[in-house]
């Protein structure tokens, strides 16, 4: 029925400051040094971003050993263990670290508490690159707690010297539950000095919590291996949407998902370019979902500067070009 169908569009959604910086890092490195630029792991967990950068000359590898000696390698936004930097040095790679500064902050916390001989309970998802990177800072001190049900397995040396840290892209509510269960078991458990779940993760979840109760269906744009995008789908369903789907592209939307729906919610993970969301809106508009209202729950203004090692070379490159111009003019 035309006129009664609407779309609610969550804001904030899409790119966070750390993703924007990481994608720009690869783009600027390609411009400055020329293709190919090697990238260890997916720079961010998004199919479209990865294939777009591949088309520009980025080569994605799993490990440093796949990078030719002396070549340039960018480390992904999710962070790496110190040994990855050491391997890069051993292969004489020019490493550019695109780890989000908010992940680096968690690494610093891990190093500091390990140096003070704390047991560190890292709440996160087993096998996720961020968790592997953070754990690599102090493997002897860190144990993983993968959700509330893994609390029973936790064993510490001294219950008065234990702290929890977390992955940056977790469900805020599930993490609160995990921490509550941990505190029941370990009443002296310390909390991180500042929130480890980042502003972008919690802002995107907050917007979905406001939007989802009004929606029949919530479409989350994001890749399957994107932790924060997966969490948005779960949050949508927990907050009252009849169904939630995680899709990379508008073309994946199945007509039966929309059958009988009058309100569709749309959002996207922190690694998702907004053009993919616009394609979803176009798809919905073709099916009479033309009335789009944005649900805004926060304004985001954070911007991170590019990695120092890249900025230094960009500056040197600009200076060399200016000298060249001056020479031709003299």
Tell me which of 135, 175, 205, 227 binds ligand 10G, using CB under 6 A: 227
Q: Which of residues 99-118 bind ligand 10G (CB under 6 A)?
A: 100, 103
Contact 214, 205 (CB under 8 A): no
Residue in 28, 109, 130, 137 annotated catalytic: 130
**Of the listed pieces 12-20, 90-98, 172-180, 182-190, which binds ligand SF4 according to CB under 6 A?**
12-20
**Whole-number Å distance between alpha carbons of 228 and 318:** 37
CB of 39 to ligand 10G, least distance (A): 12
Tell me which of 200, 221, 246, 281 binds ligand SF4, using CB under 6 A: 200
Residue 226 touches which member of ligand SF4, ligand 10G, none, C-beta under 5-8 Å by kind: ligand 10G
Q: What is the DSSP letter of 123?
A: E
Longest CA–CA span in the chain (Å) reads 75
**Whole-number Å distance between alpha carbons of 207 and 196:** 19
Angle between the 101-115 and 17-33 helix axes, to the nearest 10 degrees? 110
For residue 99, give the nearest of 198, 243, 183 by alpha carbon.
198
Quick one: 207 or 258, whose CB is closer to ligand SF4? 207
Tell me which of 270, 276, 281, 295 binds ligand 10G, using CB under 6 A: 270
16 is in an annotated binding site: yes
Q: Which of residues 38-77 bind ligand 10G (CB under 6 A)?
A: 44-45, 77
Residue with token string 């779960």? 234
Residue 169 interacting with ligand SF4 (CB under 6 A):
yes
**Of the listed pieces 29-37, 135-143, 148-156, 226-234, which binds ligand 10G according to CB under 6 A?**
226-234
Give the helix ranges, DSSP H, for 116-226.
Answer: 129-135, 172-185, 199-211
Residue 7 touches which member of ligand SF4, ligand 10G, none, C-beta under 5-8 Å by kind: none
178 is in an annotated binding site: no
CB of 98 to ligand 10G, least distance (A): 9
β partners of residue 243: 217
Q: How many CA atoms lie within 13 A of 214 on its CB side?
A: 17
Q: What is the DSSP letter of 190?
A: B
Tell me the Ramachandran region of residue 191: left when phi exceeds 0, alpha when psi lies from -120 to 50, beta otherwise. beta
Residue 202 interacting with ligand SF4 (CB under 6 A):
no
Residue 19 interacting with ligand SF4 (CB under 6 A):
yes
Contact letters for ligand SF4, residues 22-61 (x by CB under 6 A) = ----------------------------------------
Q: Which of residues 84-103 bind ligand SF4 (CB under 6 A)?
A: 100, 102-103
215 is in an annotated binding site: no
Tally of CB atoms within 10 A around 291: 14
Contact 27, 53 (CB under 8 A): yes
**Whole-number Å distance between alpha carbons of 241 and 233:** 10
β partners of residue 122: 144, 165
Type and span of the H or E element at 304: none
SS3 letters for 223-249?
Answer: CCCCHHHHHHHHHHHHCCCCEEEEECC
**Whole-number Å distance between alpha carbons of 207 and 244:** 15
Quick one: 88 or 100, whose CB is closer to ligand SF4? 100
# of chain residues touching ligand 10G (CB under 6 A) = 18
Catalytic annotation present for 130: yes
Task: Give binding residues as ranges.
Answer: 16, 45, 78, 100, 128, 168, 198, 226-228, 271
Q: Which residues are annotated as a binding site for dimethylallyl diphosphate?
A: 45, 78, 128, 226-228, 271
Q: Which residues bind ligand 10G (CB under 6 A)?
A: 18-19, 44-45, 77-78, 100, 103, 130, 168-169, 226-229, 269-271
Residue numbers annotated as active site = 130
Binding site for ligand SF4 (CB under 6 A): 16-19, 77, 100, 102-103, 168-169, 198, 200-201, 228, 270
């Amino acid at each position: 029925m035309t006129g009664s169908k609407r779309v609610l569009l969550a804001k904030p959604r899409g790119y966070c400051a750390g993703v924007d910086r990481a994608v720009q890092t690869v783009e600027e490195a390609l411009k400055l040094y020329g293709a190919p630029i090697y990238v260890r792991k997916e720079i961010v967990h998004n199919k479209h971003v990865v294939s777009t950068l591949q088309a520009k000359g980025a080569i994605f590898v799993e490990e440093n050993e796949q990078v030719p000696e002396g070549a340039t390698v960018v480390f992904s936004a999710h962070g790496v263990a110190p040994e990855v930097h050491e391997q890069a040095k051993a292969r004489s790679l020019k490493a550019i670290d695109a780890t989000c500064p908010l992940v680096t902050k968690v690494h610093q916390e891990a190093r500091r508490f390990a140096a003070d001989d704390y047991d560190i309970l890292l709440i996160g998802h087993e096998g996720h690159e961020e968790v592997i990177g953070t754990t690599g800072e102090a493997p002897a001190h860190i144990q993983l707690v993968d959700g509330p049900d893994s609390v029973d397995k936790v064993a510490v040396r001294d219950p008065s010297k234990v702290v929890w840290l977390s992955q940056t892209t977790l469900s805020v509510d599930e993490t609160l539950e995990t921490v509550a269960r941990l505190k029941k078991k370990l009443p002296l458990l310390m909390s991180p000095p500042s929130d480890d779940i980042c502003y972008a993760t919690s802002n995107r979840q907050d917007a979905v919590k406001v939007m989802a109760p009004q929606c029949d269906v919530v479409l989350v744009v994001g890749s399957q291996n994107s932790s924060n995008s997966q969490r948005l789908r779960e949050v949508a369903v927990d907050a009252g949407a009849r169904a939630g789907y995680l899709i990379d592209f508008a073309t994946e939307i199945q007509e039966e998902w929309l059958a009988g729906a009058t309100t569709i919610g749309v959002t996207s993970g922190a690694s998702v370019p907004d053009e993919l969301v616009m394609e979803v809106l176009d798809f919905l508009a073709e099916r009479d979902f033309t009335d789009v209202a944005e649900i805004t729950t926060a304004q985001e203004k954070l911007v991170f500067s590019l990695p120092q090692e890249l900025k230094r070379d960009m500056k040197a490159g600009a200076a060399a070009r200016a000298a060249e111009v001056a020479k031709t003019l003299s």
